[in-house]
Structure formats: structure tokens, C-alpha cells
A = this chain, B = another copy of it.
Amino acid sequence: MNLKIAVLPGDGIGPEVIAQAKKALYAIGEVYNHEFVFEEALMGAIAIDKTGNPLPEQTLNLCLNTDAVLFGAIGDPKYDNNPNAKVRPEQGLLKLRKELGLFANIRPIKPYKSLIDASPLKREIIDGADFTIFRELTGGAYFGAKTLNEEGTHASDLCEYSEEEITRIAHLAFKSAQNRRKKLTMVDKANVLETSRLWRKVVQKVSLNYPDVALDFLFVDNAAMQLILNPKQFDVILTENLFGDILSDEASVITGSIGLLASASLGEKNALFEPIHGSYPQAKGKNIANPIASILSAAMLLEHFGLFKEANVIYQAVEKAIEYKVVTIDLKPDSKFGTNEVGEFVSNFI
């Protein structure tokens, strides 16, 4: 197979971890005879520094015209505590999601057997947990109108959803549930929010097409609790953008480290793959960031193009790395292995 892949390393630890994902893909390409052509481009704080724009035209055009995008991380503390910053790195990512129409962000959560004790949660709570979060990615408060009055004393964010936006991701989530344990949990705040009530209504309607999938509902406050109390109850979780952002970071503790979690963002035509961790600026350049989430994002990319055997080899390589404790310090505080070593191990295994 020939694939043209846009690579956006982004900020902080992005470049280091993405380098390891590329290494794994190169190895797969050699062994299985695929041609992966990578083209790098700027996005985020680094793009602002170099061009003034967090998502330069050129980057966007590249992403629109490739088979897939592999993305690292975004964000820089110098923008975070400056409420007056006019451009922000995150705008680049949000604009890219919107322009590529990446409405579904899919985040699988499943602890590795050999890492179960790395979680702050007790073994019996998480052993056997296995669920996927479907987070809507191009709507809600992320993209609604924002206001700030002239005096800078009053601000607003609008959260909006349409039936169409809910329907399309609901179908994906139900289909995924059909291939899993046939349970879908819709998370919302329908006792307070109008948009949540629309979600509930539309999801009930879509569910009629999937009579073999059991549908239930949880309020987001309760869901935040249930994820920790009893994560095994979940199969597929479907939720709106901001709730999905919060719950999927929370759910990462089940696996012991957010450095293990990959995600796929899908649209009608385009697809982007990224680790769910952020830019982790404190770790930048220190060779301590966990590259596994990025490497697994590459595996999700392969799956997306039907290369299941190849993806599986990456999954196995990662499992071996974890089993042999070739891991970064987030998983083993006294580890002597760094970002590069873990990436090397994985690509050598392939």
C-alpha cells in the first residue's frame, strides 16, 4: 500500500514522540512492503513562532491532500496564563479538526495486564476494564460563538449542537458497540442542559437502528464517578466534545499512564491520529516522554487503512516493551530507558 502521511510534530514533547511513531511506521513499511511517504509541517506554538499563524495555509493544504495526519501535541505555557494573547496554539488544532471535518474522536481504554499495578486504582477495579470513548470533536462549546465585552468584564461561550452532528457520531458509536459487547452509554447533563436533551432524543432515535445494542444514560457528574468506581461496566461511551475531553483524560488513570493512550479522529474524508496526552513542556528535550501513545496512534492509522496484521505487530511490540519493562519513567520511576530507547525497542521488534 502507498500512503501519504502528513506529520505535525507540534509543541513540547510532540517532535520526540512523533519521531518514534515514524520509526515504527518505517519498520512496518520495510517488512510488509508498504510505501509510507511522510511530509512534515508546522502547527501550534512553533507555527506561531515561525509564521504568526498556529495553522499555516500550507499545513492545512497538506493535511487536506494526504491520506492521513499524524499529530504530536500542542500547547505552550507562555500562552496559558496570558488571557490577552491574541493567537493561541490550540486554535491551530481546533481549526484543523474543523477544516478536516474530524467529528469523531475515538479513544480506546484498556489496561495492560503487566501494568495493572501502575494504576492508582486497585487491581480488582480495573482488571478486565475495556471500553472506548466516542467524543464528538467539531461541535459544542469548543466552536460556538465566544464573546468578551469591551471592558473585559463579561465573557460567554455558546454550546450548540444540531441533530445532524449528533446523528453521524451516534451511528459510528453504535456500530462500534455492535462489534464489541453491545452496550452504549450516553453521557450528558440532560437534567440541566438543552443540548444534552437534544443528544438524548437523537441518540434514542438512532438506537432504533441498532436493536441489538443496549443503550443507557448517565449524567456526566455520575459518569465521572462511575469511571473510577466501576470502569468494567462500560463498553462504548458516547458524549459531546467537552465532556469527552474531561472523561477521557480521567479514564487514562485506569491504564496507569496517559502516555499510553492513542486516539483516532475521523471525518467523512480525512483522518488524524494523535496521542491523547498534551505537550508536557517540562519534559521537552529530556528523552523521558513516553512514546507509546504516539506509536499506538500510528497503529490506529494502520488499522484505519485495513492493515490489521501490521497494526497487530505494533500492538505486540508495545506489549513486549511493557512486559520487558523497556518503558519510560512514567511507568517505572527508576527506568534507565528513555523515549528513544523505547522507540528503538519497538521498531526493532517489528
Contact = CB atoms under 8 A, between A and B. Distances in A.
A47 to B, nearest CB: 15
Given A155-B194, A220-B245, A224-B249, 10 more contacts: A83-B201, A120-B125, A148-B194, A155-B161, A155-B197, A156-B160, A156-B161, A189-B242, A222-B249, A222-B278
A193 to B, nearest CB: 5
A217 interface: yes
A243 B156 CA distance: 15
A191 interface: yes
A146 interface: yes
A115 interface: no
B253 A225 contact: yes
B228 A253 contact: yes
B246 A200 contact: no
B253 A120 contact: no
Contacts of A155: 160-161, 194-195, 197-198
Contacts of A185: none
Number of copies: 2
Interface string A224-256: 110111100000000000110111111011000
Interface string A258-277: 10000000000000000000
Interface residues of A, number: 66
Contacts of A285: none
A286 interface: no
Contacts of A222: 249, 278
A104 to B, nearest CB: 18
15 contacts: A88-B191, A121-B121, A142-B192, A152-B201, A153-B162, A154-B160, A155-B194, A155-B195, A155-B197, A156-B160, A157-B193, A158-B158, A220-B246, A225-B249, A228-B253
Contacts of A229: 120, 253
A122 interface: yes
Interface string A91-123: 000100000000000000000000000001110
Interface string A175-215: 00000000000000111111101101100100000000000
Contacts of A217: 80-81
Contact of A153 (B163, B190, B191, B253): B163
A317 to B, nearest CB: 26
B154 A94 contact: no
A310 interface: no
Contacts of A253: 225, 228-229
A140 to B, nearest CB: 9
A90 interface: yes
A193 B146 contact: yes
